Amino acid sequence: MQIERHRIDELNQRYLSNHRRRFEAVAQDVANLDTILQKLGQFNIAIPSWALGTGGTRFGRFSGGGEPRSLEEKIEDVGVIHALNQSSNSISLHIPWDIPNNAASIKALAAQNGLHFDAVNSNTFQDQPRQKLSYKFGSMHHTDKAVRRQAIEHNIEVINYGIELGSKALSVWLSDGSNFPGQLNFRKAFQNTLESLQEVYQSLPDDWKIWIEYKPYEPNFYSTTIGDWGQSYLLASKLGAKASTLVDLGHHLQGTNIEQIVAVLLMEGKLAGFHFNDSKYGDDDLTVGSINPYQLFLIFSELVEGMDARGMDHATSIGWMIDASHNVKDPIEDLLQSVQAIKIAYAQALLINRPALVEAQISNDVTSAQEILQQAYRTDVRPLVAEASLLNGGALNPVATFRQLKVRENLIKERGSKTVATGL
């Protein structure tokens, strides 16, 4: 299903006068309004191919109706999201959940929907039906060289799929770890991982990157071989310039100061990008901004400051992607909400009075520093985000428009009510 532009325009008319009033109210206090609207208009967040179906936990999965049954249908769903928000112009594939069997036609379909391919993701955390050796005790860190070889070859295969699609990065998350003290020699496990990644690194085309994701626990509950940003950073440093650290917001222990991690990685030129989601307890994969929007804002505050300090293009110099899924919402609505939350946090970060903040920091005026940050955070920037979407031909209110256009009802008619998308 493709949404025609004129249908979005028609629905925008309903919200227009209300929007204008709200927009004028906030715009009059924004000094660099045009720049902010332009930056918001250029900002895109990739959609993961595995988030388009209803997710699940190990206790169950409650599929919604009209879920995409193939990669083609997943691309169409991302096309719907992008038509509505004009901010999701790429899709990130997870192999082998979504193998592009005919790259040329998949690429053409994506282009028809205004999309390109973001990073490709490998999967050595599950055994596949025809796989020779098991990943039960890990993949790249495995004690058996043959298992490590299989994992290396899988990653090279994923790079090759990505080359055909025009991707420019391989994103690696390893579930390798241990469940009990004594199970693993940490040093050897790390060394094996490094050597395996080095082989993968050698297969990267010149203009490619490798992004290394970390996670403290799950599925292993005693140790994870790439458990935190330090371990990921160490690997990325040893690998070379094409390697950097990917931050998944859900991959931190409670209370971790993620914004500080982001600031340091950015300073070192080793921040690959993000997997956005939100969480209350662990890797909960909840809608971005649903639990702790202030943390998201603080992360964006560091991003804007750190990227500006290095002269980096906000929209394109690192990878922006959602990595979320859950049981109870329509996946497209969830993704629309997530993208909005990211753009809101970004807009608020752009509003921060930087010179005043620098002044407050230099003079150790802690009270003013907090006031300055919260002045931006407490500004209702939703009309700015809506205006940027409108200027790009998107919906003023993506979720409401999705509902008014009865997209899900149409997808159920087209695909049936008992479909299950691939993914976790």
> Which spans of this chain sit near Mn ion (rule: CB under 5 A)?
248, 275, 323
Site for ligand PSV in 41-80 (CB under 6 A): 50
Q: Tell me which residues in 293-322 interact with ligand PSV (CB under 6 A).
A: none
Residue 121 partner contact from Mn ion, ligand PSV, none using kind-dependent CB cut-offs of 5 to 8 Å: ligand PSV
Cα-only R_g, the chain: 22
424 binds, among Mn ion, ligand PSV, none (CB under 5 to 8 A by kind): ligand PSV
Residues 6+ apart with CB under 8 A from 245: 211, 212, 213, 214, 229, 232, 233, 236, 265, 270, 271, 272
In 3-state terms, what secondary structure has residue 66?
Answer: coil
Q: Closer to ligand PSV at the Cβ: 65 or 282? A: 282
How many residues interact with ligand PSV (rule CB under 6 A)? 10
Residue from 323, 330, 334, 387 touching ligand PSV (CB under 6 A): that is 323
Decide whether 56 or 114 has the Cβ nearer to ligand PSV: 56
**CA end-to-end span of the chain:** 24
Is residue 395 within 8 A of residue 339, CB to CB? The reply is no
Interaction residues for ligand PSV, span 204-233 (CB under 6 A) = 213, 215
Is residue 266 within 8 A of residue 307, CB to CB? The reply is yes
424 binds ligand PSV (CB under 6 A): yes
Contact 420, 68 (CB under 8 A): no
In whole angstroms, the minimum distance from the beta carbon of 246 to Mn ion comes to 7
Angle between helices 103-112 and 71-85 (to 10 degrees): 20
Residue 98 interacting partner from Mn ion, ligand PSV, none (CB closer than 5 to 8 Å by kind) = none
Nearest approach in angstroms of CB 175 to Mn ion is: 11
Q: How far is the CB of 424 from ligand PSV (least distance, A)?
A: 5
Q: Per rule CB under 6 A, is residue 248 in the interface with ligand PSV?
A: yes
Return d(Cα 19, Cα 395) in angstroms, integer: 12
Residue nearest to ligand PSV (CB): 173
Return the amino acid letter for 298: L
Exposure string of 326-344, with b = 16+ CB inside 10 Å and e = fewer, is beebbbbbbbbbbbbbbbb
Quick one: 113 or 175, whose CB is closer to Mn ion? 175
Segments of 110-242 assigned E as strands: 116-117, 120-121, 169-172, 177-178, 209-213, 223-224
CB nearer ligand PSV, residue 341 or residue 388: 341
Provide, rounded to whole angstroms, the least separation between the CB of residue 341 and ligand PSV. 18
* Nearest residue (CB) to ligand PSV, 51 versus 385: 51
Which residue from 256, 263, 181, 183 is spatially nearest to 215, judged by alpha carbons? 256
Where do contacts with ligand PSV occur on this chain (CB under 6 A)? 50, 121, 173, 213, 215, 248, 275, 283, 323, 424
